[in-house]
Chains A and B, each alone.
Chain A
Amino acid sequence: EADIYQTPRYLVIGTGKKITLECSQTMGHDKMYWYQQDPGMELHLIHYSYGVNSTEKGDLSSESTVSRIRTEHFPLTLESARPSHTSQYLCASSELQGQETQYFGPGTRLLVL
């Protein structure tokens, strides 16, 4: 069973607010990822990290930012939320080289009014 957690699970917020989506994993994985998925659409990689102090942009441009100060923690921040940010945000982790599987968190469903 995957030990990767996301909070909050659901968030409704007004335009212009700053929000941080939390993601933590207890598997000691070096690599972590953030995906964005709209209903019925594909997963889009927006950020990833190879380890502490590493952050990279993914395939889909995003106005969000991430940080990786600790191995187990990979929060995503939106400085000023807009309705276009409404989506599901999925965090995942994997080993850097070894086990060939990504583990996903339960997701955060964000609604910006």
Chain B
Amino acid sequence: DQQVKQNSPSLSVQEGRISILNCDYTNSMFDYFLWYKKYPAEGPTFLISISSIKDKNEDGRFTVFLNKSAKHLSLHIVPSQPGDSAVYFCAARVRDNYGQNFVFGPGTRLSVLP
């Protein structure tokens, strides 16, 4: 059973417009959420994160919103650029007795059209 879901496998957006990528989770023990960006044949790179005690975190063109009651988070990219075309993974952190563990969603492929 997937604990982190990204229900849109792909998304196409026009350059300059807003890209909104969504992520849902089921485990209420997740205390930190992260977004990663991945280009083909490369490893994922960390983009932005948010603690479960916050509802918004902004870094330049990237903003992550967290709705804890709905167990939903979203990544907004404004304005979208062709270089943003990549696969975006949502990830969540949970702690156990041994340390921290990360659970990844299946990813959403974003295509920004010029």
Partner pick for B106 among A42, A96, A97, CB 8 A cutoff: A42
Q: Given contacts A41-B106, A42-B106, A42-B107, is CB(A101)–CB(B41) below 8 Å?
A: no
Q: Which residues of A contact B (CB under 8 A)?
A: 2, 6, 30-31, 39-43, 50, 88, 90-92, 94-97, 100-107, 109
Residues of A near B89 (CB, < 8 A) are 43
Closest A residue, CB atoms, query B99: A96
| Nearest CB of A to B81, in Å | 21
Residues of A near B40 (CB, < 8 A) are 39
List residues of B (53-91) whose CB comes within 8 Å of A's CBs.
89, 91
Q: Mark B97-108, 1 if CB is under 8 A from A, else 0.
A: 011101011110
Closest A residue, CB atoms, query B46: A101
What number of B residues sit within 8 Å (CB to CB) of A? 24
Residues of B near A97 (CB, < 8 A) are 95, 99-100
| Nearest CB of A to B21, in Å | 15
Q: Given contacts A40-B109, A42-B107, A101-B34, is CB(A106)–CB(B102) below 8 Å?
A: no
* Interface contact B107-A104, CB-CB below 8 Å: no
Q: Is B45 close to A, CB under 8 A?
A: yes
14 A-B pairs in the complex with CB atoms less than 8 angstroms apart: A2-B45, A6-B43, A42-B105, A42-B106, A42-B107, A43-B89, A50-B98, A95-B100, A97-B99, A97-B100, A100-B32, A100-B100, A104-B43, A107-B41
Q: How far is the CA of A109 from the CA of B45 in the complex (A)?
A: 17
By DSSP majority rule, is chain A's interface helix, strand, loop, or mixed? Answer: loop
Partner pick for A100 among B34, B104, B106, CB 8 A cutoff: B34
* Interface contact B49-A101, CB-CB below 8 Å: yes
Closest B residue, CB atoms, query A88: B41
List residues of B (11-59) whose CB comes within 8 Å of A's CBs.
32, 34, 36, 40-46, 49
Q: How far is the CA of A107 from the CA of B42 in the complex (A)?
A: 6
Residues of A near B46 (CB, < 8 A) are 101-103
* Interface contact A100-B49, CB-CB below 8 Å: yes
Q: How far is the CA of A4 from the CA of B45 in the complex (A)?
A: 12
Q: How far is the CA of A6 from the CA of B41 in the complex (A)?
A: 12
